[in-house]
Structures are given as structure tokens and as C-alpha cells.
Amino acid sequence: MPKTSTVTRGLVLALALAALSGGAAAESYPSRAIEVVTPFNAGSTVDLLLRAFADGMSKSLKGTFVVINRPGASGTIAISSVATAKPDGYTLAFGPNGQVAIQTHLHKDLPYKGPESFDFICQTWENPFVIAVAPNSPYKSLKDILEAAKKAPGKLSWGDIGVATVPNLQMITLAQAAGVTMTHVPYRTYPEMILNAKNNLLDFIVPSPGSIIGQDLRVIAIVGDKRLARFDGVPTVGELGYPELLPGFGGLYAPKGIPAEAKEKLEAACVEATKTEEWKTVVERTDSTLAYLPGAEFAKRMAANTQQFGEVLKKLDYKPQ
């Protein structure tokens, strides 16, 4: 009897360990769909980049990535939703630097305070902006716009994707360097802004190149550090004698404190996703730049950029609200 009892207890213990092991394997990351939130509308440059990137991540991790578009409030609605999400690796953000590096200097009530509020997974791209006008616009060059602005301070208007976003601050920097005053009109999404530009309700706009593909707009300057092949002969703002305006950058990040296993797997999947032909094609089609960085380097760049924009905003006398 004692021998039988020992065997029975051993069998029960073995079955229990097997069950626990099976349960742990079943919960191996990812065990359900991963939501990736972006602060831009469907069809925008960042949205197109995200969908190609998410496809590569899905294949690498053998899981499902669900794209969530949450535009508005200069992108802070989307990033706030990620910052306050459970840090379990199932809610991620994919977006440019502005929502972290700029907006945290402007809003006291945001649920995130800067780069320290997130775990950075990988940087995936850099993107320039462009200055574009309607095809029948009287302005043929950036010089034309700035000369008109000098003659009529505050009369010319431009549109971009929101107050104190990267393109907005770039234009303010340019206007100050040129000694002109123009009227800013912020937009929640690109389509409305582009439509108003085409209808001459704005004198010019500062969109991402990818957002105006197939649109009847004329690009007169590149807001970035190099020319773009799609816009043959169009100079950068720096080439025209004004301060060189660097491109934005962006990638994938998560609420602070995600599990080590999730972060490790996400970082490994990033490497694979940025090697796919689909990703490379979309990056080229949107006039973005392949610019992979691992999580630690992405975090360092975001921290440095946050400090840089803090200094810019202080010079511009922006006050936190």
C-alpha cells in the first residue's frame, strides 16, 4: 500500500507540473491581439508606414496587430491612451517624435511626462515635410511667400497638423529667421487641410510628402536636410539660406514597465519587420527614410530631442497650459 501511495502521489505531481507548464506555454507572449495606436488618420503617411510595419511584426511574432487611429489634440489623445494602458505589451504606440518631445512641454495635465514615461522598442523611420501650394497659386517659390508676408504682416495663412507639432515649430522657426509674421491654421487631419489648400483657403501648407501623393499640389521647398527625388529640382529650406530644418523621426514604443519577455520579442520582431520588402517599398513611396535604431538608442535620441525642443519652446515663449 505505501508503495502504491507513493506512485500515485508522484503521478499526481507530474500531472500537475505538466498542466502548469502547458498553461505557461499557452500564455507565452503574444497570446492575443496587440493594439498599436497612432495619432494620425487612416491614409496618412504614418498610418501607411504603420500598416506595412505591423504586417511584418505580425509575421515575425506569429500574432495579430490591430491598428488604431486616434487623431486629435496634436496627437496627445492617442499617446495618452497608450501611456495609461496596462503595461503588458498589448497596447503600443507608433508615431513621430513630436507627441513626446514637444507636447510634454506644453501641457501640464498630460498623463505622460516625457520619454521617461515609455519603454522604447525601436525607431523605424525619419520623415521630412514639404511646403506646398495650390497649382494656381501666385507663389512660385519660398522667396515669393516670404516677400509677400513682409509686405502684408499676418495676411498670409498656412496650415499644418496642429499647434506645436514638428512642422508647426519648423515653420515658426523659419518665419522668425525671415522676419515675417503669418497666420497659423491648425488641422486635426491631413485631408481637410489639403482640400482647403487646393481651394485656395490657405496660402500654403506644410504636410508630409506621403500625404499629398496623387493630390494636385505644387511643392516649392523641402523642410528637411536633403532633397527628395520625387520633387525634382525643389530645394531644401537650408539651401535657400534659412536655418536647416531637420526631419522628424518615429517608431514603436510602449507604456513604461512592459514585461521583459514582451520587450525582447518586440525588439527582435522590429529588426525583421524593417527588413521586409513591403516596409522598404512604403518608406520609399512616402518619401520617408529607412532609419532603424534599437530601443536604447531610440530612447536616447528622444530624450535629446525633448531637451532640444524644450529650449526652442522657451525661446518662443511658449508656456505650459
Q: What average pLDDT does range 11-16 have in this prediction?
A: 43
Which residue stretches of the chain are H helix?
2-26, 45-61, 76-83, 98-101, 142-151, 166-178, 190-198, 260-273, 277-285, 295-315
Give the confidence band of 225 by pLDDT, cuts at 50, 70, 90: confident
Helices (H), 153-259: 166-178, 190-198
Cis-peptide, bond into residue 30, ω within 30° of zero? yes
pTM, to two decimals: 0.79
176: phi then psi, degrees, rounded to nearest 5:
-65, -40
pLDDT at 180: 97
Residue 1 confidence (pLDDT):
45
Output the pLDDT for position 16.
45
- List Cβ neighbours of 285 (8 Å cut-off, separation of 6 or more): 48, 210, 213
- Cα end-to-end distance, the chain, whole Å: 78
Using the predicted structure, report yes or no on whether residue 215 has a pLDDT greater than 80: yes
CATH homologous superfamily of 129-240 equals Periplasmic binding protein-like II (3.40.190.10)
Say yes or no to pLDDT of 305 above 60: yes
Q: Quick one: cell of 141?
A: 517659390
Residue type, 279: W
Encode pLDDT of 144-163 as tens digits: 999 999 999 999 999 998 88
204 SS3 class: strand
pLDDT at residue 46 greater than cutoff 90: yes
Predicted confidence (pLDDT) at residue 111 exceeds the cutoff of 60: yes
Residue type at position 89: G
**Beta strands 248-255; 34-38: pairing state:** unpaired
CA-to-CA dists, residue 196 to 99, 200, 223, angstroms:
25, 6, 21
| pLDDT tens digits, 255-284 | 999 999 999 999 999 999 999 999 999 999
pLDDT at 316: 83
pLDDT, tens digit, for every residue of 178-193? Answer: 999 999 999 988 999 9
- Exposed, middle or buried by CB within 10 Å (0-12, 13-18, 19+), for 142? buried
Close Cβ partners of 178 (under 8 Å, ≥ 6 residues apart): 146, 149, 150, 242
- Domain spans in the chain, listed from the N-terminal domain onward: 34-127+247-315, 129-240
Say whether pLDDT at 250 is over 60: yes
Q: Which of 24-38, 42-56, 64-78 has the lowest mean pLDDT?
A: 24-38
What is the rounded CA–CA span in Å between residue 114 and residue 117? 6
Q: Which of 230, 202, 234, 237 is nearest to 220 (CA)?
A: 234
Q: Which CATH architecture has domain 34-127+247-315?
A: 3-Layer(aba) Sandwich (3.40)
Lowest mean pLDDT among 15-19, 90-94, 106-110, 313-317: 15-19
Summarize the confidence of residues 82-89 as an average pLDDT.
98
